[in-house]
Structure formats: structure tokens, C-alpha cells
């Protein structure tokens, strides 16, 4: 039986996300010797969250994860995703299909990201990698090919259950932990690489986004360690990736919420898209050193037509394209 997130051994880089104190362990939980806070372990996944997932409270999150385990233990990632969306209320069948396809494209995104990182950091250390917001774990197998030890963390326990079951289905050994992105349960200077794909835009506001970036940098090793993130560009002249509304990000922030309510009848919350200048300033405020920022360097596989891929790569070579490109990639160190 493979070991993913083994609750019987305490990794030396775990610490209390609240005070960064040392953790001790009992059978079904960790507890902090300094602040006495307890963190449960369920299905081999430690839950270090200090706050609820904004979409579901912690007890209901664990209950949903338990249902997935009971009913989908032997399914592949595709089957797990289809089941998850079938039991998730207020998601139309068409949207559910799109969500599944988006998750499955994550592996190709990871391939493109890793290729670019290898070009930017040819001498990078390959010991350990942390993926923040790993979701269903679709990127983890690709990261595991590059880094010896890979850890996936997400604030949604139910998604980590899917990631664990999918990893078991593939015979993979990857550590998983549930935590808030701005309160990571890892000691400082731990990881050679910290990666976050489509995560920072889901922090509630700018202070949370800065806290997220600051904690990601804290977890990265100094000098050779780095923090990479990918995020939709606020000023891309394309439909918003969350609500499919053209030019939504170009509106004043206060106007986006009523516009989404008017057009889609949905609540616009827990999303804050960033432009390239905003992202650069945010990373510098969080303690980043020099920031490399480029339009996402997607390969041909991410495009329906080769002609579109060729046109995109031509545009991506122009510095001005960063202002309006669909997705921004950023790389920084301490």
C-alpha cells in the first residue's frame, strides 16, 4: 500500500500555521506545543486550516470528502471529477463538463510551466516542491517527475480526497495537507520550489493576496529557492474566466459585482483579478526580489488550432502583450 500523507509520521518541516511552533502528534491529530491548537487528521490528510473554505464549512467539507471515499474509492481522476460535480448543487451540467475539462488540462499546463522554469532556472535544485492550491492534484504527477519530494496543499479537503484517490489509482506517493494559503503549515526556508497555478486571484482582497505571496516566499529556500505563480490577467480583452463576461476585468472593481449579478444572476465574490503592474507591486510588497513576468508560455496542445498557437507565440514575444495577455506567469525569489 502506498503512503500518501501518512498520519503516523510527522514530517520535520511541518509547523503550526498559527504561531509556527513545534507540533506533536497523537493518533488522529497534531497539536501545537506553543499555542495548544489541535489539527485533525482525516483519511491520512492533516487539516491545518485556521479559516473555513469560503464555499463550505469545515464539517460539511469533511462529510463531502467522506462520501467521495465511500462511493468512488476505485475511480480514476475523470470518474472522481464527474462524481464530484454530480453531487455539487447549483452547477449546471454544461458548466460541470467545462470544469472537468479545465481540471484535466492542468497536466498540460504543468508541462508548459515546468519547461519554462527549466529554461529560467537551469541549475535549480530538484529536492522539494510545494504546490499551493493543488486541487484535484492534476499537476502533481508532472511536478513529481522533476522534484524528488512533492507536497500538495489546498484549502478544500474534499479536493484533496480526490487528489489522494487519483494518486492511489496511479500508484503515486505524494504528500497532501489541507491549509489556508496565507497560513501555510511549513517551516521557513523549506522548499526548493513553490508553485501556485490560478490561486492568488481567489484570495478575498489585496491584503490576503499579499499575505499569500509572503507566506509562499517564506516557505521557499533562500537564494536558489523560488516562487512561481500563474494568474488570469485582469485586463485581458477576453471573456472573464469565471463568469464568461467580456471585458469584465476592465471595469472599475466596484462595478464588477453588480454586472455579474445583472448578466449571470450570480454573486461575484472571492475573486480579485490582477493586472501585470498590480501583480508586480504585490510581489515586491510581499518580499519578492527581482520579478520575472511574462505572458503564459503555452505549447501547441493548449490551443485548438496550430495557427492560433503560432499567432499567440508571436504576440507573446512582444513586451506590450503582457498588458493584455490572457494569463500572466510570474517568477520571484526572496
Q: Which residue has the higher pLDDT, 9 or 255?
A: 255
pLDDT above 70: residue 6? no
Q: What was the pLDDT predicted at 322?
A: 97
Q: Considering the chain, what percentage of its residues have pLDDT values greater than 90?
A: 79
Q: Are 192 and 146 in contact (CB under 8 A)?
A: no
Q: What was the pLDDT predicted at 5?
A: 40
pLDDT digits (tens, 9 = 90+) for 159-188: 999 999 999 988 887 899 999 999 999 999
Q: Of all helices (H) and strands (E), which one includes residue 141?
A: helix 140-146
Residue 191, classed as helix, strand or coil, is strand
pLDDT above 80: residue 8? no
Residue 70, classed as helix, strand or coil, is helix
pLDDT above 90: residue 325? yes
Residue 236: alpha-carbon gap to chain centroid: 21
Mean pLDDT of 241-266: 91
Q: Which residue has the higher pLDDT, 13 or 279?
A: 279
Strand partners, 226: 193
Mean pLDDT of 304-331: 93
Provide long-range contacts, Cβ within 8 A and 24+ apart, for 75-82: 75/165, 75/169, 76/166, 76/169, 77/103, 77/104, 77/136, 77/137, 77/138, 77/162, 77/166, 77/169, 78/104, 80/136, 80/162, 80/165, 80/166, 81/136, 81/162
Residue 73, classed as helix, strand or coil, is coil
Q: What was the pLDDT predicted at 7?
A: 35
d(CA 280, CA 283) in angstroms, rounded, equals: 5
pTM of the shown model = 0.92
Q: What was the pLDDT predicted at 259?
A: 94
The mean pLDDT value of the chain amounts to 92
Residue ranges of domains in the chain, CATH in brackets: 43-233+274-332 (3.40.50.150)
pLDDT digits (tens, 9 = 90+) for 208-226: 999 999 999 999 999 889 9
pLDDT digits (tens, 9 = 90+) for 118-151: 999 999 999 999 999 999 999 999 999 999 999 9
When mean pLDDT is compared across 85-99, 138-152, 182-196, 278-292, the lowest value belongs to 85-99
Amino acid at each position: 500500500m502506498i503512503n500518501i500523507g501518512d498520519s503516523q509520521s510527522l514530517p520535520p518541516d511541518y509547523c503550526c500555521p498559527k504561531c509556527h511552533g513545534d507540533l506533536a502528534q497523537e493518533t488522529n491529530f497534531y497539536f501545537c506545543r506553543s499555542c495548544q491548537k489541535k489539527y485533525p487528521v482525516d483519511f491520512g490528510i492533516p487539516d491545518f486550516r485556521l479559516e473555513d473554505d469560503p464555499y463550505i464549512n469545515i464539517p460539511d467539507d469533511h462529510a463531502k470528502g467522506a462520501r467521495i471515499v465511500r462511493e468512488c474509492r476505485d475511480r480514476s481522476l475523470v470518474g472522481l471529477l464527474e462524481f464530484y460535480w454530480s453531487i455539487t448543487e447549483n452547477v449546471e451540467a454544461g458548466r460541470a463538463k467545462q470544469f472537468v475539462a479545465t481540471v484535466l488540462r492542468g497536466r498540460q499546463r504543468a508541462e508548459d510551466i515546468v519547461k519554462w522554469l527549466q529554461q529560467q532556472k537551469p541549475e535549480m535544485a530538484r529536492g522539494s516542491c510545494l504546490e499551493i492550491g493543488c486541487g484535484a492534484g492534476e499537476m502533481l504527477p508532472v511536478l513529481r517527475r522533476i522534484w524528488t519530494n512533492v507536497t500538495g496543499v489546498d484549502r478544500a479537503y474534499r479536493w484533496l480526497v480526490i487528489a489522494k484517490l487519483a494518486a492511489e489509482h496511479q500508484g503515486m506517493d505524494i504528500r497532501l495537507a489541507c491549509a489556508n494559503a496565507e497560513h501555510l503549515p511549513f517551516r521557513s526556508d523549506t522548499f526548493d520550489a513553490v508553485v501556485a497555478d490560478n490561486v492568488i486571484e481567489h484570495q478575498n482582497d489585496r491584503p490576503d493576496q499579499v499575505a499569500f505571496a509572503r507566506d509562499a516566499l517564506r516557505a521557499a529556500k533562500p537564494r536558489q529557492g523560488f516562487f512561481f505563480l500563474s494568474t488570469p490577467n485582469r485586463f485581458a480583452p477576453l471573456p472573464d474566466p469565471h463568469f464568461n463576461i467580456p471585458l469584465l476585468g476592465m471595469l472599475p472593481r466596484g462595478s464588477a459585482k453588480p454586472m455579474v449579478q445583472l448578466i449571470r444572476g450570480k454573486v461575484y465574490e472571492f475573486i480579485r483579478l490582477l493586472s501585470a503592474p498590480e501583480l508586480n507591486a504585490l510581489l515586491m510588497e510581499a518580499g519578492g526580489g527581482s520579478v520575472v513576468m511574462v505572458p503564459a508560455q503555452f505549447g501547441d496542445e493548449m490551443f485548438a488550432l496550430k495557427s492560433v498557437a503560432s499567432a499567440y507565440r508571436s504576440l507573446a514575444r512582444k513586451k506590450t502583450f503582457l498588458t493584455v495577455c490572457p494569463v500572466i506567469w510570474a517568477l520571484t525569489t526572496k
